[in-house]
Structure formats: structure tokens, C-alpha cells
Chains A and B, each alone.
Chain A
């Protein structure tokens, strides 16, 4: 059985240094011994990070409806994270909380785009749209997985994700239809988000193995083309085809292999503070 080494619940003295250097080039990096675990954790961590960032808007969103929406989106995404941590629990024997909050920063496998700070409202919407499009494609592809644990939990997740994509589309089209300020902000946000979207599709060194054993019906990199097509279609329908110009799939790499940006350490410290200070706490 493979395991994820939990970090000592006591506060760490020296925080590990995080860089933007893709992990594959980092000396001393070794792939995890269980590719399936690495993959399931990448989905769980993606959802946990975006859920945490969405929760930022609770109490401070521009409208009451938006406040409720992002609170709900956060609950949904964290709920999905719990499901994927549950699948990882079958592989490690470690419970959801330990997997979510008890790992060292370099053990997290989410795309770095998802750890980025909420930014302005436009950044939040553009990121939600880009990520939910990707997540939907990923979940859809997984319906052909030969892994019963993965396929078994897709139903409720897919059902909820439909609303997420619809929400992002409705808000973005509304934002660009208004004043030039809104449109400019969305374009600036698209430049920023699409410049780091490559990390979503980062091809992991162990993915081939997962494709071979049927866990993955395709390489995550194979989702790039359909994702770009879906993105173009939506941006065209909003009347901002130029928003795709900033797309750079060579940006934002490293997260899936545990290399994160400088904003991740404070995020990790905040998210795991209670777990580290009060091991085993429930309330």
C-alpha cells in the first residue's frame, strides 16, 4: 500500500521554499510510487484550492446573489474534493482531513492557476469559467475509465458541474455586455488566466502508465484541443474572440508535480493552521 506522508501537526519552523521552476527540472524530485494516487490527489487538490478561493467572496461579493453563488460554488467544489479524497483514502488508509490538510506543501498536486489569489471580480469569473470547462471535460473523459472507484463517484459531481458552467457563462456574457470597463477587465483577466492555464493539462511523467492500465481513457494533455475549442466558442458568443489571444499553454506548469507559486505557502498555512494547531479537532 502506498501512503502519503502526513506532516508533523506541530507548526513547522522553516517553511519550504516554493519556486516557479517546473518540478521536472528540480533536482532531487522523484515521482510518487503510486500514479493512481497522484492522479486522484490532483483532482482533489484542484477542487479544494478553487473551492477555497471561491469562498473568498462570501460576504464581499458585488451582489447578494453573487455572494450566495460563490458560497454555493465553494461548497460544491469542496464537496467534490471530499469525494476525491475519499477515493484517495481507499489507496492510502488516511482520512479526508489528513489528506486535505496534513500534507507538506510540495505534496499538493493542483494546477498553480487554482492557487492564484482571487484578484478582481473579472479574474474570478474568467478563472471559474476556464477551470469549470476543463473540469467538465476531464470528468466527461473519466466516464470511460476502467477504474470502478473513479467512475463510481462521477454521477453527483457531473450533475452539479453543469450549473457551474452555466453560471460562469451567464456572468461573463453579462460582464462584457455592459460598460467598456467591464469588457476591458474581462480581457485583462483572460490574459492573466489563459497565460497560466497550461498547468491544467500538464502531462505527468506517470500518466502513460495510467492510460495503459485503463485508469485514464486519455492523457490529460489530450484535453487541450477540445478545451480551446470550447473556450473559443464561448468567447465568440460573448463577442470577445480576442480574449483567447493571451493563451499560453507553456505557462503555469509545475503544480501537478508539487512545484507551486509564492502565493501557495501563505494559502497552505491558512488552510492547514487549524489542523496543525489542533490535531484531530472536530466541531
Chain B
């Protein structure tokens, strides 16, 4: 293997780590890598190409995330241009969130997928989503829509705390 190839592989890994570490401006410190938004990263000479998908099609944070991803890629030594492509043909789903992402979401006060949310219970106002604050399942689903397109709103009857959950889709 030539040293160029080794070098390019190293740069690719560095770019991948850098862009995966970009934080979602609406859910800091959760990163786009942890949310499962990254599709593909490639490096061609000094150019990095990053394919990324929005969580929801109307997500208003995409412009900011795109700019941050670009910045993170060009900050890597050896990269002086980054192309960010939003893949609108792919559908993101909460199942793409990594284990580390799930833990961070819960720590941030957002019930991660797998906490018991279903379309049905969230629409009928039935609870059962695990409260990220106290762990109780004695919760109420208030609305399938939340403070961001990817979240629904709930409240906990035990610790009396309102919270968001990652929307079931």
C-alpha cells in the first residue's frame, strides 16, 4: 500500500469523525452521528463529500447543520473543500439513533426511541412513555407534535415534569 493511500484513509477517518461530531443545534450535545443522520463520507484529494439526511423533511435546522458539517470537514488538515449533500430520497427513522445517542437524549430530558412511544398511544393521549427524568411510565402523551419536527410532547404524572420524546414514525 502506498503512503498516499494510507494517508487518504487516515484523512477519511478524520473527516468522518469530525462531521459525526457536529452537534444538532436543537438538541446539543447530541451529534448528527449519534442521531444516525450521516449516510456516507468520501474524500477525493482535498475535497470531502458528505451525504447526510434530515430527520424530518421540514427540519428548519438543516441549513445550520449543513454549514457546521462543512466547517468541520474543512477543519481537517488536507481538506480544503467540502460538499454537503442532503439526501432527500432517504427516510430517517428513530431506529437510526445510536446507543450513545439514546443515553445522551435521556440525559438531556428527551425520551429516546424505545421508551414506549407509539403512534397510537401518543395520539390517544395514553401514556406509557418512560419519563427521562424519573423513569416512571405513569406518563401522559399530550401531543404527537413537539418543539421540533422530530419530537412529541408528554408529561409525567409522578415527577410532574413535562418532557419531549423522539416522535414515533
B-contacting residues of A (Cβ < 8 Å)?
A: 51, 65-66, 68-69, 71-80, 82-83, 86, 152-153, 155-157, 159-160, 162-163, 166-167, 169-170
Contact = CB atoms under 8 A, between A and B. Distances in A.
Contact of A155 (B90, B146, B147): B90
Contact of B145 (A72, A78, A82): A72
B153 interface: yes
B153 A68 contact: yes
Nearest to A166: B123
A68 B59 contact: no
A51 B58 CA distance: 10
Given A72-B146, A72-B149, A167-B145, A83 B57 contact: yes
A173 to B, nearest CB: 10
Contacts of B124: 170
Contacts of B89: 152-153, 155-156
A76 B144 contact: no
Contact of B142 (A51, A65, A166): A65
A32 B7 CA distance: 54
B59 to A, nearest CB: 7
Nearest to A76: B58
B interface, by DSSP: helix, strand, loop or mixed? loop
Contacts of A79: 54, 56-59, 149
A133 B92 CA distance: 23
Interface in B44-88: 54, 56-60, 88
Given A65-B145, A170-B124, 14 more contacts: A65-B142, A68-B145, A68-B146, A69-B144, A79-B57, A79-B149, A83-B88, A86-B88, A152-B89, A155-B89, A155-B90, A155-B91, A156-B56, A156-B92
Interface residues of B, number: 25
B2 interface: no
A166 B122 CA distance: 10
A69 B142 CA distance: 11
B57 to A, nearest CB: 3
Contacts of A86: 88
A153 B119 contact: no
Contacts of B42: none
Contacts of A167: 123, 144-145
B123 A157 contact: no
A105 B4 CA distance: 56
A57 to B, nearest CB: 11
B167 interface: yes
B169 interface: yes
B153 A78 contact: no
Contacts of A170: 123-124
B109 interface: no
A172 B21 CA distance: 43
B91 A76 contact: no
A157 B57 contact: yes
Given A68-B153, A153-B89, A167-B123, A160 B144 contact: no
Contacts of A69: 143-145
Give the interface centre of B60, B91, B92 by most chain A CB atoms within 10 Å. Answer: B91
A198 B91 CA distance: 31
A166 B168 CA distance: 12
Contact of A160 (B57, B88, B143, B153): B57
